[in-house]
Amino acid sequence: MNRSRLIDLYIKKHQSSLSNQEKDEFDQLRFQHSIYFQWLQSVSQEVVVLEQIKLVDKDRAYQKTIEQLKSPNKHLASLLLKVACSIAILVTGLTIYFYRTTAPLQPIAQVKPNTIQHSAQLITSDEVYELNKIKGDAIDGKDFKLVKNENNHLTYKKQVDTTIFHTVKTATSNQYSVVLSDGSKIHINSNSQIRYPVTFSAHKREVFIEGEVYCDIAKDDIPFIIHTSDNREISVLGTQFNVRNYKEEGYTEVTLVEGKVRVSDDDNQCILKPNQQVLITDQFEVRAVESAYYASWTQPIIRFHNMKLGRVINSFEQLYGVSFQFENPAIKEKLIAGGIVKAQTLQANLHILAESCNLTFIKQSGRYIIKESLSN
């Protein structure tokens, strides 16, 4: 009971809503349960977002951590909860364990550590530039000048004819960003591209995308219009949102973080508010979501909550450049929560996912076959 109360107060503390009486109670409980409180801090910072803590099977997860700390591996014990942490999340009846450990992993495959690359191709009318191979910080083209900063953003410095279009295209395990002529910032995920005018006209801001992009659109009276590869249109004045439009997935998904957007095609249209998403197949389906999860691919940890396993596996494919096949397609629909640390190896992240969801990954003919394991 006291541990559950400690978690309730911990959440309120991070929401800055503790009363003076609750502050005293919180201080008393965190000292009374100091080891448990250290575990709680590690979990909330490294595994799940704070709002998910109430879903945790706290005692089982805590006990699993203590068992790991009793291991004869002194290095593991000395790192305490920063290295070994476990959590049980209850999602639609499925108990999911997330933990990391220095114990030997199951032999799935040996891969190099993943370091997400910040590279792309810049495609102009007469040349293709490999941006990671450009020497220096500037690219002087025939009708343009680009500056590449240390954060791997491309910024145009020379105004040119508004009829000149460029394309920035990324491959697997690559991401890049472009600052457009109006100051809008476009973050481009793996296997994606954006086509845009080097300088916007005085009457129109218009770009064309395929794959996944996160957009931070500069405010202006001129509407900013995004065209997707399946002929949908997103119209905004100034806002932040994510667009997912991979052809192989067969749908378009627009998630609004801030502001307001209009999404339309020849037959449908909708207006989105923050923390709303429209999923477009043959029709428009608008639903409430936590938008931060859908934009987290731009961050060091890709976070997900109540997300289908199939969607999470797609993230693995984009991040590591590997292919997966489900032995039983029905398990794609399982809902899970957690995160993918982009700097981790594929092996490490697959091990966590396998333990979490009772899965087995078997490499065959250059791809991973996903099978359900027998429950423990």
Q: For 189-248, what is each residue's pLDDT tens digit?
A: 999 999 998 888 888 899 999 999 999 999 888 999 999 998 899 999 779 999 999 988
Q: What is the DSSP letter of 174?
A: B
Most confident of 4-8, 82-86, 266-270, 285-289: 285-289
Point out which residues pair with 254 in neighbouring strands. Answer: 243, 278
Quote the CA–CA distance of 324 and 185 in Å, as a whole number: 32
Quote the CA–CA distance of 317 and 216 in Å, as a whole number: 25
Quote the CA–CA distance of 266 and 231 in Å, as a whole number: 9
Element (H, E) at 294: helix 291-294
Quote the CA–CA distance of 240 and 373 in Å, as a whole number: 40
pLDDT (0 to 100) of residue 3: 66
Phi and psi based region of residue 133 (left: phi greater than 0; alpha: psi -120 to 50; beta: remaining): alpha
Quote the CA–CA distance of 320 and 302 in Å, as a whole number: 13
CA 31-35-38 angle, 5° bins: 90
pLDDT (0 to 100) of residue 147: 72
State the amino acid at position 206 in one-letter form.
E
pLDDT digits (tens, 9 = 90+) for 148-160: 655 566 776 655 5
The CATH number corresponding to 300-372 among 3.90.1150.10, 3.55.50.30, 1.10.150.120, 3.40.50.2000 equals 3.55.50.30
Quote the CA–CA distance of 317 and 117 in Å, as a whole number: 15
pLDDT (0 to 100) of residue 214: 95
Quote the CA–CA distance of 5 and 369 in Å, as a whole number: 43
On the CB side of 46, CA atoms within 13 Å amount to: 16
Point out which residues pair with 340 in neighbouring strands. Answer: 302
Instruction: State how beta strands 367-372 and 193-197 pair.
Output: unpaired
CATH architecture of residue range(s) 121-294: Sandwich (2.60)
User: Domain residues of the chain, as ranges?
Assistant: 2-100, 121-294, 300-372
**Cβ pair 338, 356 in contact under 8 A:** yes
* Residue 114 pLDDT greater than 70, yes or no: no
% of the chain residues with pLDDT over 70? 68
Number of H helices, E strands in the chain: 8, 25
Token duo for residue 201: 């006209």
**Cβ pair 299, 285 in contact under 8 A:** no
Instruction: State how beta strands 138-140 and 145-148 pair.
Output: antiparallel
pLDDT (0 to 100) of residue 248: 86
Point out which residues pair with 363 in neighbouring strands. Answer: 368
> 2-14 and 34-46 helices cross at what angle (nearest 10)?
50
**Cβ pair 233, 227 in contact under 8 A:** yes
pTM of the model: 0.65
Instruction: State how beta strands 367-372 and 240-245 pair.
Output: unpaired
Choose among 10, 76, 70, 79: nearest CA to 41. Answer: 10
State the amino acid at position 94 in one-letter form.
L
Between the CA atoms of 231, 233, 239 and 241, what dihedral angle is there, to the nearest 10 degrees?
Answer: -30
Token duo for residue 120: 């792309």
Token duo for residue 95: 């108990």
Point out which residues pair with 287 in neighbouring strands. Answer: 277
* Residue 106 pLDDT greater than 50, yes or no: no
Any idea which residue has 């909708």 for tokens? 270
Collapse the DSSP code of 199 into the 3-class scheme (helix H, G, I; strand E, B; otherwise coil) and give the result. coil
